[in-house]
Amino acid sequence: MRSPLAAVLACALLGCGTDLPAPIPAATDGRAPQRGGVLELASFADVRGLDPANLSDGLAPQMLAAMFAGLVDFADDGSLVPDLAERFTEEDSGTTFRFVLRQGVRFHDGEEVTAEDVKRSVERALHPSAPNPFASYFESIAGFADYQGKKAEHLEGVVVEGRYLVTFRLSRPDAIFLPVLGMPVLRPTCRSAGDRYEDTWLPCGAGPFKLPPGGWDHGRQLRLVRHEGYFRPGYPLLDGVRWTFKVNQTSQRFKMTRGELDVMRDFLAPDLIAFQNDPRWKPFGAFEPDKQVNGEAMNVEVPPFDNVEVRRAVAAAIDREQLRRVRPMNLRVQTKPVPKGVPGYDAELPGQRFDLDAALAHMKKAGLPFDPATGKGGWPHPIPYLVYKEGLSEATGQVLAQQLARVGLRLELRIVNYPTFVAIRGRRKQAAIAPGFWQQDFPDALSFLEPLWTTGAINDEDSNNTSFYSNKIYDELVEKARREPSAERRKRLTSEAQRILVDEAPWAFTYGYQWYVQQQAYVRDQRQHPVWSLDATKAWIDRASGPVSARRLFGREAFASIFGDGDGETRRRP
Is the distance from CB of 243 to CB of 221 less than 8 angstroms?
A: yes
pLDDT at 130: 94
Is the distance from CB of 383 to CB of 344 less than 8 angstroms?
A: no
Q: What is the CA radius of gyration of the chain?
A: 24
pLDDT at 12: 41
Give the start-to-end residue ranges of the domains of the chain: 32-46+211-288+516-563, 52-193, 292-513
3-state secondary structure of 507: strand
3-state secondary structure of 499: helix
Rounded Cα gap, residues 180 and 141, in angstroms: 12
Rounded Cα gap, residues 333 and 351, in angstroms: 11
DSSP secondary structure code for residue 488 in this structure: H
pLDDT at 57: 75
Nearest to 385 by CA among 368, 398, 375, 376: 398
Per-residue pLDDT of the chain (574 residues; tens, 9 = 90+): 344 444 444 444 444 445 899 999 998 776 789 999 999 999 988 888 899 999 877 789 999 999 999 999 998 888 899 999 999 999 998 999 999 999 999 999 999 999 999 999 999 999 999 998 888 889 999 999 999 999 999 999 999 999 999 999 999 999 999 999 999 999 999 999 999 999 999 999 999 999 999 999 998 999 999 999 999 999 999 999 999 999 999 999 999 999 999 999 999 888 999 999 999 999 999 998 888 999 999 999 999 999 999 999 999 999 999 999 998 888 999 999 999 888 899 999 999 999 999 999 999 999 999 999 999 999 999 999 999 987 789 999 999 999 999 999 999 999 998 889 989 999 999 999 999 999 888 889 999 999 999 998 898 988 989 999 999 999 999 999 999 988 899 999 999 999 999 999 999 999 998 889 999 999 999 887 888 778 999 999 998 654 344 444 445 454 444 444 433 333 232 2
Is the distance from CB of 83 to CB of 235 less than 8 angstroms?
A: no
Nearest to 170 by CA among 162, 178, 161: 178
List the CATH code of the domain at 32-46+211-288+516-563.
3.40.190.10
Tally of CB atoms within 10 A around 144: 21
3-state secondary structure of 117: helix
CA distances from residue 349 to 457, 486, 491 in whole angstroms, order as listed: 24, 20, 12
**The CATH number of 52-193 is which of 3.30.1490.270, 3.40.50.850, 3.90.76.10, 3.40.50.880?**
3.90.76.10
For 523-553, give the secondary structure using H, E and C: EECCEECCCCCEECCCCEECECCCCCCHHHH
Residue 141's DSSP bridge partners are 170
* 567 CB-near residues (< 8 Å, 6+ apart): none
Angle, helices 487-504/472-483, rounded to nearest 10 degrees: 160
Q: C-alpha angle with apex 151: 153 to 124, nearest 5 degrees?
A: 40
Is the distance from CB of 224 to CB of 210 less than 8 angstroms?
A: yes
* 456 CB-near residues (< 8 Å, 6+ apart): 136, 139, 450, 475
Tally of CB atoms within 10 A around 93: 10
* Backbone phi, psi, residue 313, to 5°: -65, -40
DSSP secondary structure code for residue 320 in this structure: H
3-state secondary structure of 119: helix
Q: Give the pairing of strands 240-244 and 38-42.
A: parallel
pLDDT at 564: 43
pLDDT at 18: 55
Q: C-alpha angle with apex 28: 26 to 34, nearest 5 degrees?
A: 85
pTM of the model: 0.80
Torsional sign, CA 122, 128, 130, 132: positive
Amino acid at 41: L
List the CATH code of the domain at 292-513.
3.10.105.10
* Backbone phi, psi, residue 566, to 5°: 155, -170
